[in-house]
Amino acid sequence: MLLIVLLRISIGWQMLYEGLWKIDSLTSAKPWTSEGYLKNSQGPFRDHFRNMTGDPNDYRWLNYDAVAKSWNGWHKRYLSHYTDLSDSQKAKLYELLNGKKLFAANLNKLPAGVLQEDGTLAKVSKRVITYNAKQKRLEVDGIMHLVPKERERLYAAVPAEDFPEFHKAVKDVFARSARLSFKEQLAASLKGNPERVGIILEAQKGTIDYKRIGEIELYKAQVARYEKNLAAAQQDYQFDHLQKQWAELQQMRGKLIAPVKALDADLKEAGRKLLTPAQLSQGPVPAEKTQLRQLNLLTIVGLTGLGILLIVGLGTRFAAIGAAMMIGSFYLVMPPWPGVPAAPGPEHSLFVNKNFIEVIALLCLAALPSGSWFGLDGLLGRLFKKKA
């Protein structure tokens, strides 16, 4: 009886501590998530567990519209979470994400012959740069920006020794317009980088003369190839080859999404730096409500709650069954079955692993009244018996 009670408390403590550790990580720079564990799922239930993440192959990080939509959602949550933001903070946050409407540099006088009839400057494409005579400044369109080639044309239009003020204004406005918003940086990475998106040259309208596959398309093709090979694999050497192919896929995936995730982290950090100490004390911006986030919260609540019930011996049989079901789901993510790629790590198992043993132990606890021997179940039972 003593050993069975000790077994119940030990399993309860292990689950409780695991839950508390995950809770503590939620306020850290790297909050815990089951994403990686689920995405590496193997076995007959692989698709089910991987799809629980909502994006098993991280395609969302390679899609400009999806990432931009996620950032827009973060922007809204930021504004609703920090209700005491000043107008200046709101404007700076908007500019970080979407960019400025225009960039300006002070210039008291425009040199003769530089201004065109339409108000734009000579030797520069229309709408890019104008001179605001009323406010006495050069203005560059926030969407168009000023490219180095246009800057050099402006420098060449007027000698520096004749109008140093003009050259300084051009230099200043170019430096300011060179700052891209986070969405513009994202577009440059996912839309404008030929290495990532590939190149298509048309000989005539509707006909392709030359096409080079980009890294994103190649990654998706490799994922499809892996899934096809996994469905057909039967022999050990085929699974060994699949493990190598999977490792190569993860390297490719990491290389592709790392710059986008870095941009995402930089945006969140830039938003955090806009806050005052009092605003920072209100905590971080709430995470997006996704299926994965709900699953993470359920896992944390399950581990913590079931661990407490097992330790104090309250509702012991039901707690043990619930814990067995939870640990059983962990077992099924990477089951040590024949024909299933082995889970990463030093453990070597066939049919039975640590999770399986813990499930059996929990089912044994569910079959025994250990909570009545030592726990709140026994205390409550004696209390109600006396009242009866």
What is the 3 state secondary structure string of 71-97?
A: HHHHHHHHHHHCCCCCHHHHHHHHHHH
Give φ, ψ of 7 to 5 degrees: -65, -45
Beta bridge partners of 103: 140
- 274/236 Cα distance (integer angstroms): 55
Contact 338, 350 (CB under 8 A): yes
Q: Give the list of residues 6+ apart from residue 212 with CB closer than 8 angstroms, or none.
A: 194, 198, 199, 200
Closest CA to 12 of 288, 233, 319, 299: 319
Residues 6+ apart with CB under 8 A from 343: 42, 334, 336
Residue 283's Cβ-count burial label (10 Å; 0-12, 13-18, 19+) is: exposed
CB neighbours of residue 254 within 10 Å: 11
**How many residues can be counted in the chain?**
388
253 in Cβ contact with 219 (< 8 Å): yes
Strands 102-106 and 199-204: unpaired
Distances (CA, A) of 39 to 125, 256, 299: 49, 17, 16
Residue-wise pLDDT tens for the chain (388 aa)?
Answer: 999 999 999 999 999 999 999 999 988 878 899 999 999 999 999 999 999 999 999 999 999 999 999 999 999 999 999 999 999 999 999 999 999 999 999 999 888 877 765 666 766 666 788 888 899 999 998 988 988 988 888 888 888 888 999 999 999 999 999 999 999 999 999 988 888 887 665 555 566 566 678 899 999 999 999 999 998 988 878 888 888 999 999 999 999 999 999 999 999 999 999 999 999 999 889 889 999 999 999 999 999 999 999 999 999 999 999 999 999 999 999 999 988 877 777 888 999 999 999 999 999 999 999 999 999 999 998 888 877 6
Amino acid at 258: A
Q: What is the pTM of this model?
A: 0.83
Contact 19, 300 (CB under 8 A): yes
Cβ neighbors of 126 (< 8 A, separation 6 or more) are: 118, 120
